[in-house]
Chains A and B, each alone.
Chain A
Amino acid sequence: MLGKTSPTTTAEPADTLRRRWRLGEKLIESWIFLAGILTIVVLLGIIALLLKEGLPAFWYTPPWEFLFGTKWYPVSEPPTFGILPFFVATFWVTLVATAISVPIGVACAAYLAEVAPAKVRETVKPIVEILAGIPSVVMGFIGLMFLSPLVQSAFNLNTGLCGLTAGIMLSLMSLPIIISVSEDALRAVPYDFREASYALGATKWETIRHVCIPGALSGITAAVMLGVGRAIGETMTVLMVAGGALAVPVAPTDPMMPMTAAIASGIGNAVRGGLQYQALFAIGLILFILTLAVNLIADRVLERQKRKFAR
């Protein structure tokens, strides 16, 4: 009895400590769990809201007419809702943004990952990431004040507010994503590959061109998709510089109104539950499906890249 009490008295504080620790552990665990669940709940909530508010728009305008109609007159009597101009505008703006940001972004990533000395890389990468932090309204302002007159005179246009200007600004905004994700992908290519290439007598350029970039291709693809997703979803900049014309744009140099800008420029005016409100939510729904698809593809491809070099 006596021999048994002395160990318990010394063990008791440790025991409560352990119990308390466990309690703390439990608390933190459930807190993290809740935080994890929260994002899923929010996502499901947003999907439910988009469906609830957006789908009724298709009772008024059949989906076919909604998607391929070329007239958008939400404040007329009776209103007409056709989003083809917005859809094509989003396509043009994204195309321009991608065409500019991908070559520059991948080249910059290749430089940072393969050529630049460590010191340069460590200074340039954070700077690139700062570019991602510039608020979109500032980008819009720069586009409005500096880029649009330049584009206007360079292409001899009637107005500098057009899809091209918006696309160039968007390319600046998706560059950081493309650079940083492709650089990670390039650096994930095992060093042995490069050594093998050099051993076969390849130059640095040949190694980058035929070994590193093909090896990291799925990661670079994912980077491009993420950049595209950013360009599709960006609102403020395109609202300010894309021009906002309602015709179906036939060239990127036309003024145009991408889907995000259409939502932003109409939602304040829409009365909750009204036809215009529902139509704007329907555009939101389509936009959501688009970016979701792009992100899912990016995710898939990134996963494949990870599996390829899993060690």
Chain B
Amino acid sequence: MRKRKKLLIILPVVAVVALIVTIITLSGGGGSSIKIIGSNTVTPLSSVWAEEFMKTHPGVSIAVSGPGSGVGIAALINGTTDICQASRKIKQTEIDQAEANGVEPYEIQVATDALSVVVHPSNPVSELTIVQLSAIYTGEITNWNEVGGNDAEIVAIARDTNSGTHVFFKEHVVQMQGLPTEDKSLEYGGGVLMLPSTEEGVSQVASNPNAIFYPGLGYVTEEVKPLAIKQTADSTGVLPSVQTALDGTYPIARPLLFYTNGEPTGVIKDFIDYCLSSEGQEKVIEVGYVPLQ
């Protein structure tokens, strides 16, 4: 009985304390907060930047979440995020929707990514052309022996439609944008696995000898083997790396972008300035992506 009474006294006290703490944190304790939503590919980079920036700016809190570029752009349009991180460019239809909502998307390129195509280390295939990749992802090629590998069925893994990488890969590889064989009517085949995160795709490839997946360069680990990509059948294969992305020889490099509502101001501008500074760009290499210069 006495115990219960004690509990009755303690509970409201705890509740009040919790409430006060919440109010203080919500109001930022005099500091400010930045919300970054979007690309799963950019998340490791933004997280490092956010951590470093928060170290030097104790009053600022930055929250990063990476469900996918599409989610970030939708959040930007709906006005629920400060910065949208994206691994694909915003579409005209999305700009129109944003403007209808009174949001003016402002684009800043913060880094470059060499979109890597990875397989299991035991896979004898070491290079593929864009045309072959397209055929694998449309379901036209289903066996590794059709591209010089073992007699085994290909497990093609992609990201889900939330992902900017999904869209970028579809346009530039599946539909072969910029190549003579470009075909806008091509789509991912029905057998392609659509996974909710890049980590899951990489870990599937690491454990499945017949799988193929396309993570950003920052997600490539020792457990998977990146393939050299050939623009056409007679060009030489190029492995994804900081070097090949910078000199423009890697065929499927892409910009990693931040979008804000109008030109950034205040603490958001400070943060983006830090990302673009030489110090911030050094972090890009550490995380495994390609800096701007």
Contact = CB atoms under 8 A, between A and B. Distances in A.
Nearest to B38: A268
Contacts of B97: 271, 274
B188 interface: yes
A211 interface: no
A223 B160 CA distance: 35
A190 B166 CA distance: 60
A247 B190 contact: yes
B167 interface: yes
A167 interface: no
A255 B193 contact: yes
Nearest to B142: A158
Interface in B178-203: 187-196, 200, 203
Contacts of A244: 160, 193-196
Interface of A (DSSP majority class):
loop
A100 B94 CA distance: 46
A152 B207 CA distance: 11
A240 B191 contact: no
A243 B174 CA distance: 20
B204 interface: yes
Interface stretch (A36-44, A69-77, A115-123): A69-77
A197 interface: no
A265 B189 contact: no
B36 interface: no
Contact of A246 (B70, B153, B170, B192): B192
Interface stretch (B71-79, B106-114, B259-267): B71-79
Given A244-B160, A271-B94, A274-B97, A265 B196 contact: yes
B211 to A, nearest CB: 7
A272 interface: yes
In this complex, the member of A71, A149, A268 whose beta carbon has the largest number of chain B beta carbons within 10 angstroms is: A268
Given A266-B161, A266-B162, A271-B94, A240 B200 contact: yes
A280 to B, nearest CB: 10
A159 interface: yes
B210 interface: yes
Contacts of B188: 246
A8 interface: no
Nearest to A249: B190
Contacts of B78: 271-272
A257 interface: yes
Contact of B193 (A152, A245, A271): A245
B190 A248 contact: yes
Contacts of B195: 161, 244
Nearest to B158: A244
B162 A265 contact: yes
A85 interface: yes
B196 A240 contact: yes
A75 B211 CA distance: 24
Contacts of A245: 190-194
Given A159-B155, A271-B74, 8 more contacts: A149-B207, A244-B196, A247-B191, A255-B191, A255-B193, A265-B161, A268-B74, A271-B94
Interface of B: 67-68, 70-71, 73-74, 77-78, 94, 97, 153, 155, 160-162, 166-167, 170, 187-196, 200, 203-204, 207-208, 210-211
20 contacts: A75-B70, A158-B155, A159-B193, A240-B200, A243-B193, A245-B191, A246-B192, A247-B189, A255-B193, A265-B196, A266-B161, A266-B162, A268-B68, A268-B71, A268-B74, A269-B70, A270-B70, A270-B74, A271-B73, A272-B78
In the complex, the 3 A-B pairs of residues with the closest C-beta atoms, listed nearest first: A247-B190, A269-B70, A268-B71
